[in-house]
Every structure is written in C-alpha cells, then in structure tokens.
Amino acid sequence: MVAATPARCPGVSRRDEGGGLTPSLLRCRFPITTSTRIDSARGPASTKFGGLIKVANPNPIYDAIKRSTVAIVVSHPETIPAKPFTIIGSGFCIHPKGIVVTCEHVFKAFMDPETYKRIMQMVDEGKSELFDFKGIRPFAVFHSHVVGTEVHMIPVPIVNVVTKTKFDLAALKLHSHRAFAKGFPSLPIADYENIHEMMEIGTCGFPLGNVLQDQIGTVTSSFTRGMISSIIPAPQVPREHVCKFQLDLTATNGNSGGPVFSLSTGHVFGVLQGGVRHPDGYPVQGITTAEPIYPILEHDLIERLVKGLPPMPGAAA
C-alpha cells in the first residue's frame, strides 16, 4: 500500500493579458508534474510531465470518445491553487457548435438554491424563458493533444443550458474557442434499434474528480467497460418509453454525465447517471444506471440551443 498526500504548489507564476474569463497563463509546480499551464478562451492549456506520454490512442473510436469527453469544472483563477480547477462531473460533446450533454444534477451543483427553485417553478407552470442566474461559472475542459511531454487541456466557458427535468439530463452551450474554429469534437448518437441487453458498452469520464490525479497521476478521462444488464422498463419498448438503462459497470462520483456508448461503434445511447443502494443504505458495487440520451434530442432542443433560442413551452419538461 502506498500513501499519497495532496499536491503542494511551491512555485507559482501568473501572466494575465486581460480580456479572458480565466488568467491567460497559470503555472503551478507539482511533485508529480513539471508544470501546469491553463489558458482562457483565447487558447489551449497544457500540463507538462517529467516522463514520456504516448501521443494518441491507437484506436480511432476511443480516441474520438476521449477528445469529446469533458470535465465539468469550477475554475479557481483568483486563488491560483495547486489545482487550477475542481472537477464536479463529466460530460460529452454531441454537436460541432459546442453542445455538451451531462446530468442535470451535475449542472445543479453550480446554481444557488433560490435560482434552482425559480427554474423548477417555471417548469411546473409550463413557462419557458431565458434569464441570467446567480451561480458559479462552469467550464468544460477538453483533452486536446500531446506535444512531447506536454498534455494540452482546453477549458471552455459554458454560456447557456437547457435541462430535461423528467430525466436527469442537461445540454450545455459552450462559448466559441479559437482552438475549435473548425468545430468542437463530437460523438454520434446510436440508433435505438441497435441497443439491446447484454450489449458490450463503455463509459468515459472523471471518476472521483481530482482524486485520481492526486493519488496516481491521472490527468485525462478514464475508460470503463461493461454491458447493458436491463433496458428499463423492458426490452423492445418504443424509444419514447425508455426511462433508464441498468448497467453492469463500475462507476463512482465524478463519472456522472459521461457518455455511455457501444464498445464496437463508439455511438452514444446513454448518459452515466448513478447507482443503486442496498436497503441498508450502502451503495451496491457493479450496478450503475444511465439516462437515455434521446429525450434531450426532442423538440429541436439542441438546434434551438445552438441558435440561442429558448426551448418551446413544455419541451424541457
């Protein structure tokens, strides 16, 4: 057994060119890394390591999943800690214009209770409108590429959101970013007709948030594989009646919001949501649940989000 201690930050330097949502350059020195650099919406970020890192996943399907999976984070530009952000959950991009899907409970963590109560009241009343809310500014952090011993990570501000309240689903609109001038990396959606029980599946995300970096040095998202145990309420029900997937797959906090995809195609059909608890209260290992992605695609929610339009009345319910 090896005991790990939190990373310290013996040396910090900062350069702020102005105009960005986060410092243009943030550099901290870690025990396990040489330096970390975070850029704002102006450009990429990088983490430099003392050892060599492979440039890319040799499987193009899994490489695409890795590049499209994001960490949903809280940025810390003012205090400049050893870690420049805290990971709240996972998400994944499904549209080149920058639409990220995650769980509603992941996004809820950024909102003050009064604002969330107001939103729920609007839903109950069947209203739909755009308004500014009080809360912590969230970011989506992409894995970009590797250059030598540098791992480049790109934080992008989240500027708009739509939630599907009868499901634990949220769609987030990202700010434009020069690193993605040709479009954000995105994942295809699986045809529901191809989804079946006993199908081999995988997920990608950030289990335990920042903890894996602290303990074993994991910087990017992690893969886990498993299978579909059950389509809920029953197999072969029409797509509009699917309410959840039961998975034989190991996941934990931080995985919430990550893509659940076919292992053979990389096409996404679910959003990693949570687990189940034993009647005595403890979590049951190996039984995980996923929300179907299809409800967030209904009523032109994604296209309206791309255009900055509010959802049609009742569409987000």
4-24 per-position pLDDT tens digit: 222 222 222 333 333 333 433
**Same domain flag for 42 and 176:** yes
Domain that holds residue 155: 12-180
Averaged pLDDT for residues 50-64: 64
Answer yes or no: is 212 within a domain.
yes
- Residue 302 included in any domain: no
Say if 23 falls within a structural domain: yes
Residue 15 burial by Cβ neighbours in a 10 Å radius (0-12, 13-18, 19+): exposed
Q: What is the dihedral of CA 75, 80, 84, 85, to 10 degrees?
A: -40
Instruction: Please compute the mean of the pLDDT values over residues 54-73 and round it to a whole number.
Output: 83
Stretch among 36-50, 51-65, 238-252 having the lowest mean pLDDT: 36-50
Q: What is the DSSP letter of 34?
A: S
**pLDDT for the residue 136:** 74
> Per the domain annotation, does 2 fall within a domain?
no
Query: With bands split at pLDDT 50, 70 and 90, how would you rate the model's confidence at 129?
Result: low
**Looking at the structure, do residues 109 and 170 belong to the same domain, yes or no?**
yes
Measured between alpha carbons, how far is 171 from 162 in angstroms, rounded to an integer? 5
Inside any domain, residue 4: no
Residue 308 domain-assigned (yes or no): no
- Domain for residue 78, yes or no? yes
Whether residue 230 sits in one domain with residue 82: no
Residues 31 and 107 in one domain: yes
- Residues linked to residue 164 through DSSP beta bridges, in sequence order: 169
Is 287 part of a structural domain of the chain?
yes
Per-residue model confidence as pLDDT tens digits over 210-235: 888 888 878 899 999 999 999 999 99
Q: Which residues does residue 169 pair with via DSSP β-bridges, in sequence order?
A: 164
Per-residue pLDDT, 152? 79
Q: Give the pLDDT band of residue 98 (cuts 50, 70, 90).
A: very high
* Whether residues 23 and 131 fall in one domain: yes
Question: Do 127 and 235 reside in the same domain of the chain?
Answer: no
Q: How far apart are CA 133 and CA 66, in angstroms?
A: 31
Domain end, chosen from 159, 180, 201, is at 180
Q: Report the run of H or E that residue 108 belongs to, with start and end.
A: helix 104-108
Co-location of 197 and 291 in the same domain: yes
What are the pLDDT digits (tens) for 234-275? 999 999 999 999 999 999 989 999 999 999 999 999 999 988
Tokens of 114: 């009064």
> Are 39 and 144 within one domain?
yes
pLDDT of residue 135: 64
Query: 80 and 147: one domain?
Result: yes
Residue 202 · residue 208 · CB < 8 Å = no
Mean pLDDT taken over the chain? 78
- Is 266 in the same domain as 234? yes
Task: Please count the structural domains in the chain.
Answer: 2
Shared domain check, 214 and 82: no
pLDDT at 113: 74
Are both 202 and 82 inside the same structural domain? no
- pLDDT, one tens digit per residue, over 105-117 is 998 888 777 777 7
Whether the CB-CB separation of 226 and 72 falls below 8 Å is answered with no
Asked if 97 and 232 count as a contact pair (C-beta separation under 8 A), the reply is: no
Q: What secondary structure letter does DSSP report for 10?
A: S
The model carries a pTM of 0.79
Here the CATH number for the domain that contains residue 94 is: 2.40.10.10
The pLDDT, as a whole number, for residue 289 is: 96
